[in-house]
């Protein structure tokens, strides 16, 4: 039997598996779940708009102004719902960030407000039109944001209870295992992997996976029904193209949502234009140019914001300076040579947090031992040292390449303490009492505002690394050097997603390059808000 016969619907294996399925009932159950999931935000928004309309009427009455006509309140609410739907607010997505939802709400309500004001001015000469509609806009934003926050928290709690959507991964190769690891590490996506579907799974020696291989392509419908699968992710497989295409179509017929990992996923960006040559789609990638005017504006704003920030928090800086001077003496700042934009070195500043002088205590140097492992192990990359001064490293780190470098995979083990890593040698804790507090809340990083004001760094960007490590990592980790296309930052896209401390270096590089290629002012604002949220959480020593 040939390979095409093995995967065909006429094969005996396919016919035997088909007898075990009830696709109609399964499809109906999935459709009901999908409709219920999509209807929830609509109902919440309708309820919040009703409350916002009532609040608008009450606020006008208490202020002694004429109440806005109920008809226009209704029209305004309907237009807000229509704008939200047009912007994809009610479409099913793998993950929706609360800040992105609030941004959609502000945008949709603003457009609806301008439209209502324009129409009301044309139809009637009412001097209260602008004030009434603006008041309705502000209250709508507040109530809708409150409702979406409650929905977001409810969804997060449900995911924490294990109520995510059962997900099948087609393809048990390196990319399939990477998808499984990402979903397992990040349950906030709401996708719970149940297993792989692959006739010829890749065996990765020394790396056991907790996910089983549930079957081959002809078992698709049986596995979907038995595991109550709601979502399928298609990665790379040895199955023929026609078989993969038939599986995608069958998922659609059964009401199972599907996602596809593109073949050249390493170069994918969010700014994509789709053109068609007949029925053949062409995806034009439009990444942001790090040398373009957008980043020049960003760097100028960085200096302005850093200067204002230094003035505003100057009492805090002076207080911390005095505390470090009293407990540790001079120097106040710890200076370390780091690599920034275009590989240029600069002195990154921090408040001193450890006893002894940097020169005598090993603060400026670290000894690393590299040994070669199997090539291509990167998709299961292991942790790296914490080079950001957070005091959370454990003294051991592994750096894996992603299989694209021309060498092997490097393993790095730290054997000497550095202030950047903040690890205690031989069980000795050299952090001062004030140093523990500074590190716990990342207050030791505040002097980096001076770096930003001088133009060495940016407020947001990839975290800078020691020059010695950069040269080693560039040889071991795919696209590590690409993160130096922009200025280093105090915080970044990788850090706000938990990729700091004892975490994968390859993952950090991937997230850093995603930030560079998809940069926007909104992305910077979102990272800033997420950074504040992470700093408000209590940090362990």
Give residue-wise pLDDT tens across range 81-100: 999 998 888 877 777 788 88
d(CA 439, CA 451): 19
For residue 290, the 8-state DSSP code is T
Quote the pTM value.
0.72
Q: Which tens digit of pLDDT belongs to each residue from 273-299?
A: 788 888 788 878 777 888 889 899 999
- Say if strands 345-351 and 458-460 run parallel, antiparallel, or are unpaired: unpaired
Question: What percent of the chain is modeled with pLDDT above 90?
Answer: 26
Sign, CA dihedral 112-117-120-122, equals: negative
pLDDT digits 0-9 by tens, 144-177: 999 999 998 888 888 777 778 889 999 888 888 8
Q: What is the pLDDT of residue 398?
A: 41
- Mean pLDDT over 384-399 rounds to 38
Stronger pLDDT, 61 or 521, i.e. the higher one: 521
Q: How far is CA 139 from the centre of its chain?
A: 30
Q: What are the tens digits of pLDDT across the range 107-118? A: 999 999 999 999
C-alpha distances in Å from residue 401, one per residue of 75, 112, 171: 57, 50, 22
For residues 67-86, give the mean pLDDT: 90
Report residue 278: phi and psi, to 5°.
Answer: 70, -120
The per-residue pLDDT for 481 is: 87
Q: How far is CA 395 from CA 152, 466, 468, 477, 491, in A?
A: 37, 16, 17, 20, 22
Q: Are 347 and 337 spatial neighbours (Cβ–Cβ below 8 Å)? A: yes
Is the pLDDT confidence value at 457 over 90? yes
Domains with residue ranges and CATH for the chain: 27-160 (no CATH), 164-261 (3.40.50.720), 332-536 (no CATH)
Query: Which pLDDT score is estimated for 238?
Result: 81
Assigned token pair, 357: 């002088």
CA 326, CA 449: separation in Å to the nearest integer?
23
Residue 537: its pLDDT value, please?
62
Task: Record the tokens describing residue 429, joined without a space.
Answer: 């804790």
The model's pLDDT over 356-365, given as tens digits with 9 standing for 90+, comes to: 655 444 444 4
């Amino acid at each position: 039997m040939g390979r095409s016969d093995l995967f065909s619907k006429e094969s005996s294996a396919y016919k035997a598996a088909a007898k075990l399925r009830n696709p109609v009932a399964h499809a109906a159950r999935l459709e009901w779940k999908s409709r219920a999931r999509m209807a929830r935000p609509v109902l919440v928004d309708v309820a919040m708009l009703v409350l916002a309309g009532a609040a608008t009427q009450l606020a006008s009455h208490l202020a002694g102004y004429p109440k806005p006509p109920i008809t226009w309140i209704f029209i305004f609410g309907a237009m807000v719902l229509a704008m939200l739907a047009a912007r994809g607010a009610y479409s099913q997505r793998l993950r929706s960030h609360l800040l992105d939802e609030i941004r959609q709400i502000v945008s949709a309500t603003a457009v609806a407000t301008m439209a209502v004001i324009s129409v009301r001015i044309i139809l009637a000469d009412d001097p209260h039109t602008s004030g009434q509609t603006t008041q309705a806009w502000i209250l709508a934003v507040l109530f809708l944001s409150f409702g979406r926050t409650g929905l977001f928290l409810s969804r997060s709690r449900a995911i924490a209870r294990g109520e995510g959507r059962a997900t099948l991964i087609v393809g048990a190769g390196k990319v399939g295992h990477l998808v499984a690891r990402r979903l397992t590490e990040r349950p906030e996506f709401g996708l719970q992997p149940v297993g792989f579907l692959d006739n010829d799974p890749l065996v990765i020696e020394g790396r056991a996976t907790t996910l089983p291989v549930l079957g081959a392509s002809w078992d698709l419908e049986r596995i979907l029904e038995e595991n109550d699968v709601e979502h399928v992710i298609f990665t790379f497989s040895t199955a023929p193209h026609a078989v993969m295409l038939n599986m995608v179509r069958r998922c659609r017929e059964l009401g199972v949502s599907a996602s596809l990992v593109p073949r050249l996923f390493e170069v994918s960006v969010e700014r994509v234009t789709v053109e068609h040559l007949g029925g053949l789609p062409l995806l034009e990638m439009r990444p942001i140019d790090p040398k373009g005017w957008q980043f020049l504006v960003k760097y100028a704003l960085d200096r302005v914001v850093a200067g204002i920030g230094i003035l505003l928090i100057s009492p805090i800086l002076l207080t911390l300076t005095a505390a470090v001077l009293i407990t540790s003496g001079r120097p106040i700042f710890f200076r370390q040579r780091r690599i920034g934009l275009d590989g240029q070195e600069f002195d990154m500043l921090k408040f001193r947090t450890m006893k002894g002088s940097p020169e005598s205590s090993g603060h400026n140097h670290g000894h690393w031992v590299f040994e070669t492992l199997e090539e291509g192990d990167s998709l299961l990359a292991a942790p790296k040292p914490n080079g950001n001064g957070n005091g959370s490293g454990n003294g051991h780190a592994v750096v894996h390449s992603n299989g694209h470098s021309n060498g092997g995979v490097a393993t790095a083990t730290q054997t000497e303490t550095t202030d950047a890593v903040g690890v205690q040698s031989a069980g000795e804790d050299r952090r001062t009492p004030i140093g523990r507090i500074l590190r716990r809340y990342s207050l030791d990083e505040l002097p980096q505002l001076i770096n930003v004001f001088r133009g060495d760094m940016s407020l947001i960007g990839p975290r800078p690394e020691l020059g010695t490590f950069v040269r080693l990592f560039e040889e071991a980790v795919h696209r590590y050097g690409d993160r130096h296309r922009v200025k280093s930052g105090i915080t970044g896209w990788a850090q706000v997603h938990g990729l700091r401390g004892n975490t994968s270096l390859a993952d950090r590089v991937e997230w850093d390059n995603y930030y560079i290629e998809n940069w926007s002012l909104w992305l910077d604002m979102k990272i800033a808000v997420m950074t504040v949220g992470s700093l408000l959480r209590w940090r362990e020593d």
